[in-house]
Structure 1
Amino acid sequence: MQWTLILFLGSSLAVTTLGWTYHYSKTTMNWTQARRWCQTDYTDMVVIQNQTENDYLVSKLPNRTRSPYYWIGITKNHMNENWTWIGNNSTWVGEQSWAVNEPNNNHSNEFCVEIYVNTGRNRGKWNDEKCALQKYAVCYKAQCNATSCGRGRCQEMIENITCLCEPGFKGDRCQTAMECPPLSQPDNGYLSCSGGNLTFNSTCRFKCYPGFLIIGPPDVTCTVTGVWSGPRPICTSYKQALLAVVGCGALSAFCCICFCWMKHRKRKKLAQVRQPEEATSPSTEAQG
């Protein structure tokens, strides 16, 4: 069940939901005064990001039978400019946002916008107006703050706050670090983890008992996906390590001998081919 609370706050009324809150004035003012009023008491004049938000806002505002209606936070400075939303500089305008025959810029200086909230066919539509006219202010107050999302970015939507978590964190408020599965103790050794935990960015170090040699990188790190980085090292006795080294050395020597023998055989074969050529060379010269 969703709860909506109507608050009476002196000269304004507020509609409170889980996400941001909308506020509107009980007195009229020009567009500049309306924005200043919003910034002083709330966050800013209302910014609409899509048609769903537009319709939701209209559903929360009281109907008015005639002008003045409500200022919204979209404006421009010159005739040839695009309409731009304050704050985020978005240029969103829906396909059916404007009322019939709007924007018409009747007096060449209608650079502010009101939203109709009535029961007619233009309900929820926009109309460009002169910024000096008196209308009601509509503001919003952001619910996101520095503590809303522990390790993430707070994004407000209608009746909802969503936390976009940083890599390596999860949870509805990004409050939980990703965890990696427990590591097994290595044979003939042990491991220790930083902070005693297995969460994102923590490091575990493998160590060997005396008399054993570690083979491979000793450290592994818990990655953003909850998987340990790199292969696990092993602890082997010095005798086994020495035998492995000797074995590798013997293999290398054998390979070297084979390579040298093949190279020698190739040279010998080339020499045998050249000898007949050299033997026939003088007779050829004599004939010439």
Structure 2
Amino acid sequence: MPQKRRSQSWTELKQAGNERFKTGQYGEAAELYSQAIRELDKSGKKSPEDLSILHSNRAASYLKDGNCGECVKDCNVSLELVPFGVKSLLRRAAAYEALERYRLAYIDYKTALQVDCNIPAAHDGTNRMTKVLTEVDGPSWREKLPPIPTVPLAVREKLAQQARGTAAQTNPAPQHNGTRQTHKPAVSDQDLKKGQVLKEEGNALVKKGEQKKAIEKYSQSLKYNAAEVTTYTNRALCYLSVKQYREAVRDCDEALMIDSSNIKALYRRAQAHKELKDVKACVEDLNSLLKVEPKNSAALKLLQEVQKKK
């Protein structure tokens, strides 16, 4: 009698799906991930993480095949099981973008950057969505956005650790999902609070016109949280006030490394370049800003000023 064929385990099915994905057989990969999901359910093993990965992998297959609606559904399930998973956020963002649901795509790209600010795909996606939304909704496009969820610190730390641990693994991911494998050390809740208090003290000093003292407060704040973009842009404004233009440029550089389309950083760096007589750099920054916000009146005015001096 012929031997009864042994049914494959969910892990074997997942691995087979991964292999199909790597060779571009996305339909077959999706079917294997579906089988793996059913087998995992039947096993009675309660593993939200494993189930989340399977749904995210199947979402990647759907995305590659152009089935964006199913990709969104799978990412929704994956993110319910493991909130703020970066791969699922990026895959859903790419699907939303393809479906022309640009506001939702923007939210997912920005949420992914909260988890890891060193994701080129998320920065690029944010820039693309900013340009599209500016064209569609005008200068006040941000007011029409749904709220961006705040990623809790504990979640950021956990996901960063997982990302470090799995950086060498070859999980399937669409081209949109490339991530750098460098991670800044997680900041503790206590340090975040200290940094925030010092930043607010700096803000209060600015209102009093005490820019030099404010610079000291912002500098202290950055020792506790070096990833807070507004602290850099606030300190840059103070440096402009006290005519320390090179320092202003450096702070704007730091801010733009965190958020490449930050309007304040681009404008303040342009102002600093103008004072340093670097007209070319000033114009480049203003043009970059105007790609994000074409009707920004301050940038248009400054551009007109510097172009007259050429």
Above 0.5 in TM-score? no
Higher helix fraction (1 or 2):
2
Higher strand share: 1
What TM-score, normalized to structure 1? 0.21
Larger relative CO (CA 8 A, sep 6+): 1 or 2? 1
Name the TM-score, length of structure 2 as normaliser: 0.20
